[in-house]
Chain A
Amino acid sequence: MDAVSKRFADHLAVDALSFSVDRGSFFSILGPSGCGKTTLLRMIAGFIAPDSGEIAIGGKSMRDIAPNRRPVNMVFQQLALFPMMSVGENVAFGLGQRGMARAERIRLSHVMLERVGLHGAANKRVDELSGGQRQRVAIARSLVLEPTLLLLDEPLGALDLKLREHMKIELKQLQAAFGTTFVYITHDQSEALVLSDRVGVMSHGRFEQLGTPQDLYYRPQTPFVAGFVGANNRIVGRATRKDGAMVEITTADGWMIRARSHGAIAVGDAVEGFVRPEVASLGRLAAELPGGQPRHAGQVQSLLFDGANSAVLLQESRTRRAFRIALPQTGQFSDLKPQEPVLFSFDPERAVCFPARDQNG
């Protein structure tokens, strides 16, 4: 699969975008709704023609090739299973369109249903299946055609949380088992991080950053990525001092933190700093905090208990700014009370500072 680049006029839904996906890998396009990711996917599938640029799949240009002639299949957001056909007929549909003999078609669709764990469901009606089973039929219907590329348009969006978690794992296993290249679009950053080999974070028709989930999380290249991928504390202010790679950020109301700079920042510039909740440490006494880090004082505003993902929401003492800190798994702070005064600190090397974006988005 080669470089893909295209421009979509109208309101420039996809703006001169280029990327490539390695064969057999899981690629996600992550972005908020309206960022142009669905348009991009529909262009790859062939439902929309790009205004300019070239899409190539398996080294072959897809220009002027209709969706039914592309080596690409799509799993639709609402799945779009055919209600007038049985499960088996749904899976065999594409094979029939290729002119495959009936007996062979039925055999292959049964094999496929077995591989996705739906043995014996071939004669069921589509509406007899549960949400997760339908999901698997939709994937089986596409994979049975052995496409070079499988497109998935937020297929987990309609499922409830528990099932979504389960299907996430299942999708990953299916992709590993079939070795098909998956291109997956979603607005859910957790889906993108868990599933993908590589992720493109998209905003306003462009990729903000393209990289492995680890890259996006630990080394965000833009303030958008820092704010969109994973939880982050965002601190807006001006750069008041600079020594080497480190910048001192002072907010309008006078709170001062230090962070590693990313991009060209001069003293006096408007900047945005980001501190991950798990980077900061919490303590009742100064001695509990790691040494050598600037300390800040705060007050517990609320406890956000969520098992292993529990966090505490603080207010910085002087400016009343909200700051989120992940609670350690040891249960050490399970007795925190709202309004309780605490201390917190973080390693400035692990906080990041960007020049502020033009708009305050």
Chain B
Amino acid sequence: MDSAVRARWHGRLSLGLLLAPAILWLGALVILPHVELGVLSFRERVSPHNYVASLAQYKTFFTDPLYWNVFVRTALMSVAATVLTLLLAFPIAWTIAKLSTGRAGSLLFILCLIPFWVSETVRTLGWMILLRESGVLPALLVKLGITAAPVELLYHDATILVGLIYTSLLFMVIPLISSLESLDNALIEAAYDLGAGGFAILRTIVIPHAAPGITAGCIVVFMLTLGNYLTPTLLGGKNSQWFTEQIYTQFITRFNWEQGAAFGFLLLGLSTAMVVIGLKITGQRFGDVMRRT
């Protein structure tokens, strides 16, 4: 074997070795289970150990208003959570990227990061301690004379939204910071000099520049929110009606894997559709957006 051939062979081997973990991860943990789930979702149990191919699982979803309602509700709540997260994260990212210099900026960023050292379960339990009827906030409201008796602040839609926003904030702040940092301050000054006011600068200069970052943050937050199980369950209790709970129920409580698999695919379809619609509306390309994150 001459040296050129050997070098090429070495190159291929090292590339293969480098990619191996990613390929294994994708294959074993993402593609294989989804193929299995896909097969599961398209069959129906007619008698023990006897299955036939059918669309019955999907039919159940569209005919039973409960599932359909929960599905739409989950989607709308996720959209609301994403929009609210964006509105909250934008001033934070602006402060870190544009207003604070040097140490102050990194300190603020670390403050955003610190909550993520604690597991999501513990953080959500923290909210429960604050918000439950016998918790800190209702007691404070009584003490201040705002309410006569402690009120239950858990198990409302607003509570779920608060929890979801809290969980996703960092994933919105990071892409926003990186896209705002790359915005040349001279552009803002030039627009100001040419007569634009604060809102006009935001609309014509800042948002068009940060659009890929905004879209990237929204996609990540929307997917995380839609697929979240813990936060809606703990903070919303029985009223949460989150679609992931329906999937959990089918798999674990009802032991109806076929139905659960169909629901899983519907959720995947929903998140894909929403992302595509979002990209279409904002005129972004997926590749550009992902390069920004």
Chain A interface (Cβ < 8 Å from any Cβ of B): 45, 47, 66-69, 72-74, 76-78, 80-82, 84-85, 93-94, 97-98, 141-142, 145
Contact = CB atoms under 8 A, between A and B. Distances in A.
Contact of A94 (B194, B205, B208, B209): B194
Given A68-B196, A68-B197, A97-B200, A82 B186 contact: no
B95 to A, nearest CB: 20
Contacts of B208: 84
Interface in B194-219: 194-197, 200, 204-205, 208-209
Given A84-B209, A97-B200, A68 B192 contact: yes
B91 to A, nearest CB: 21
Contacts of A78: 184, 186
B170 to A, nearest CB: 27
A270 to B, nearest CB: 44
Nearest to B211: A84
26 contacts: A45-B193, A47-B189, A47-B192, A67-B189, A67-B192, A68-B193, A68-B196, A69-B195, A73-B193, A74-B190, A74-B193, A76-B189, A80-B186, A80-B187, A80-B189, A82-B191, A82-B204, A84-B205, A84-B209, A93-B196, A93-B204, A94-B194, A97-B195, A97-B197, A142-B194, A145-B195
Contact of A76 (B190, B204, B205): B190
A293 B192 CA distance: 60
Given A47-B189, A76-B190, A82 B195 contact: no
Contacts of A69: 195
Given A80-B189, A82-B205, A84-B208, A73 B184 contact: no
A93 B186 contact: no
Nearest to A151: B193
Name the prevailing secondary structure of the A interface residues.
mixed
Count class of interface residues, chain B = 10 to 19
B204 to A, nearest CB: 7
Given A68-B196, A68-B197, A93 B184 contact: no
Contact of B196 (A45, A72, A73, A97): A97
Given A67-B189, A85-B204, A145-B194, 19 more contacts: A47-B192, A67-B192, A68-B193, A68-B197, A73-B194, A76-B186, A76-B189, A80-B184, A80-B187, A80-B189, A80-B190, A81-B190, A82-B190, A82-B191, A82-B204, A84-B209, A93-B191, A94-B194, A98-B195
Nearest to A138: B190
A98 B195 CA distance: 7
Contacts of A45: 193
Nearest to B184: A80
A69 B197 CA distance: 9
Contacts of B192: 47, 66-68
A141 B190 CA distance: 10
A97 B197 CA distance: 8
Across the A-B interface, give the 5 residue pairs with the lowest CB-CB distance, nearest first: A94-B194, A80-B190, A80-B186, A97-B195, A84-B208
Contacts of A82: 187, 190-191, 204-205
Contacts of A81: 190
Given A78-B184, A80-B186, A84-B209, A67 B204 contact: no
Contacts of A84: 205, 208-209
Contacts of B209: 84
A55 to B, nearest CB: 15
